[in-house]
Amino acid sequence: MLGLGFATGMEFYTADSVNLVLTDLTGSFGVSGDEASWSLTVYTSALFLGVPVCVWLAGHIGHKNYLIGSVLLFAAASVVSATSLSFDTMLVARAFQGVAGAGLVVWWRGTVYMLLPKPQRSEALMRVSTMLYLSSAFGMLFSGYITDQVSWRLICIPNLAYAAAAIWLLVRYFPDMPVQRSERPTDWPGIVLIAVTLVSLQIILSRGQIDDWFGSPRIRLLAWLGATALILFGVWQTSARNRAPLLRLELLLDRYVLSSALIGVLTGMILSGSLYMLPEFLRNVTSEPLSATQTGRVVAVYALTAAAVRPLVVSVVARFGQRKTISGALVCLIASMLLINRFLTTDTPAYYFYLPLVLYALCVSALLPSVGSGTVARIEQRNLLDGVSLYMTFRQFGAAIGVAVLTILVERRETLHSARLFDHLRASSRVVQNWMTTASDVILSRGGYSTLKSQQIATKLLAEVGGREAATLAYADAFLFMAVIGIITLCLVPIIPPTPPVIKK
């Protein structure tokens, strides 16, 4: 379990570190903030594609070999990503990171379900989860500090230590398991079809705003191609001719698997989107932008709280049952998003976000294990790995589209709010005239500029303030959108079969 914790902790550390340093990344490569977000989109998309692939691949080469290979590939890709001289090279490295990370995030949980008897699973999951949250906190604290003091490129250094510890432990203690090549032949048609679907969707989401969505022939072509590939994928996965489908979609007929898949895709959008949106706002939009170190300290509140609360979740689930625990976690998530929406201004003190982040931590620490233990873990043992793969695939699909959807939403809402705000900033307005006169006088007296130059600077200042206000409103809308997604997810909880609480006598 310790070896799995180090291996997967490397992925958690990296994910939160890259979220934090996107601003610095844009300066190093000379790209826009939207282009920089592709480092997240490419990673989560590769992770989504790698999740269904990792189950049959582990069966082909052996679970132990696959885990160690994933650790080595992830560490190597981390170094290449951080030392890349071009943005394209970094994106390729991030894609390899995502493929390797898929094996880590799936197999730490899959190994617990596969190797340990049911009475021992909850405690093992709790211990590894606590390590993962501590890795997230370390990622935000260390990467923020090293970015401000030296360079963001050094955030890859801890991954080498994580990898060394994980490999040493896995080589010594992970049990040898039989290779099952005959039982899991390669589903190449399924891999190709799901890859075409994902690539088409990501290009549509990234280029749609620029190319006028379905007004563009290329977007229409990609939409038809992606939809056709998705339909063919579904048909092929359920076909009797497919001896070993990449995803056993028939398992969705089980209420346990269906509920975990639906909740997974929606919560995946919120969990990935919120951890992208808040650092971006704090570092780029506020009137006094925070440094990487300061932002890391703020956002690390959620990871440290989750690590502290996670050991208590087992008893909470045992007392109240999975459905009530999931409902309470989603209520905390909705409250967190609504509070951030309410608090978000250009001058909000950083400590205002502590309460929403604590609520967010209460959600994360309880939601993910409750969904796992209350749904996927209850299906038959022979279908367990396929159920885990299906659940993680849907969850990673939500994470893959979450950042892209929220980026589009922020851009569109910012345009709308800019139009509304600047409609009121008319030269004939007495309020605007008074503000411009005061600003010009201050600039004239303190800057030594001419009267005309002072007026020009005041106009630019007014435009900058208005743009920042429009961006703040757009980010607030994004958190409101995530709250709505949380409400929709809460409405899906009744799909989960009821499980009685464990009452100790």
pLDDT score of 244:
74
Q: Three-state DSSP class for 239?
A: coil
Nearest to 328 by CA among 368, 366, 373, 376: 366
> What is the Cα–Cα distance from 504 to 245, expressed in whole angstroms?
42
Output the CA torsion sign for 218, 397, 410, 32.
negative
Radius of gyration of the chain (CA): 24
pLDDT score of 339:
95
Q: Are 365 and 136 in contact (CB under 8 A)?
A: no
- Label residue 69 exposed, middle or buried (CB < 10 Å: 0-12, 13-18, 19+): middle
pLDDT score of 427:
63
Q: Are 202 and 45 in contact (CB under 8 A)?
A: yes
Angle of helix 354-374 relative to helix 322-343, nearest 10 degrees, comes to: 150
With vertex at residue 280, the alpha carbon angle to CA 277 and CA 283, rounded to the nearest 5 degrees, is: 150
pLDDT score of 473:
93
Banded pLDDT at 182 (limits 50, 70, 90): very low
SS (H, E, C) 201-242: HHHHHHHCCCCCHHHCHHHHHHHHHHHHHHHHHHHHHCCCCC
Output the CA torsion sign for 361, 367, 368, 369.
positive
429-447 pLDDT, tens digit per residue, is: 777 777 778 877 777 777 6
Angle of helix 255-284 relative to helix 2-20, nearest 10 degrees, comes to: 40
Tokens representing 152? 């963001």
14-64 pLDDT, tens digit per residue, is: 988 988 888 888 888 888 777 777 888 788 888 888 887 787 777 778 888
Neighbours of 183 (CB within 10 A): 12
> What is the Cα–Cα distance from 194 to 347, expressed in whole angstroms?
44
Residue 373 has pLDDT above 70, yes or no: no
> What is the Cα–Cα distance from 297 to 350, expressed in whole angstroms?
10
Tokens representing 299? 């956002």
What is the residue type of 431? V
**How many CA atoms lie less than 13 Å away from 466 in the CB half-sphere?**
20
Contacts of 21 (CB under 8 A, 6+ apart): 143, 144, 147, 152, 155, 292
Residue 120 has pLDDT above 80, yes or no: yes
Higher confidence at residue 364 or residue 176?
364
pLDDT score of 317:
83
189-237 pLDDT, tens digit per residue, is: 888 888 888 778 777 776 666 677 777 888 888 889 888 988 998 888 8
Banded pLDDT at 488 (limits 50, 70, 90): very high
Least-confidence region, from 124-133, 194-203, 308-317: 194-203
- Label residue 233 exposed, middle or buried (CB < 10 Å: 0-12, 13-18, 19+): buried
63-94 pLDDT, tens digit per residue, is: 888 899 999 999 999 999 989 989 889 989 99
> Which of 25-39, 91-105, 171-185 has the highest average model confidence (pLDDT)?
91-105
Least-confidence region, from 9-13, 139-143, 343-347, 464-468: 464-468
Q: Three-state DSSP class for 304?
A: helix
Nearest to 135 by CA among 101, 112, 168: 101
Neighbours of 405 (CB within 10 A): 18
Percentage of residues in the chain having pLDDT higher than 70: 92
Query: Over the chain, what is the mean pLDDT?
Result: 84
pLDDT score of 355:
95
> What is the Cα–Cα distance from 122 to 117, expressed in whole angstroms?
10
Q: Are 417 and 424 in contact (CB under 8 A)?
A: no
Least-confidence region, from 7-21, 337-351, 388-402: 388-402
Stated pTM of the model:
0.85
Q: Are 174 and 67 in contact (CB under 8 A)?
A: yes
pLDDT score of 264:
84
**How many CA atoms lie less than 13 Å away from 351 in the CB half-sphere?**
0
Higher confidence at residue 462 or residue 274?
274
Least-confidence region, from 149-163, 221-235, 491-505: 491-505
> What would the mean pLDDT of 304-310 be, rounded to a whole number?
94
pLDDT score of 493:
87
Least-confidence region, from 80-94, 155-169, 232-246, 379-393: 379-393
Banded pLDDT at 499 (limits 50, 70, 90): low
> What would the mean pLDDT of 340-351 be, rounded to a whole number?
92
Residue 500 has pLDDT above 60, yes or no: no
pLDDT score of 155:
92
Banded pLDDT at 505 (limits 50, 70, 90): very low
Banded pLDDT at 360 (limits 50, 70, 90): very high
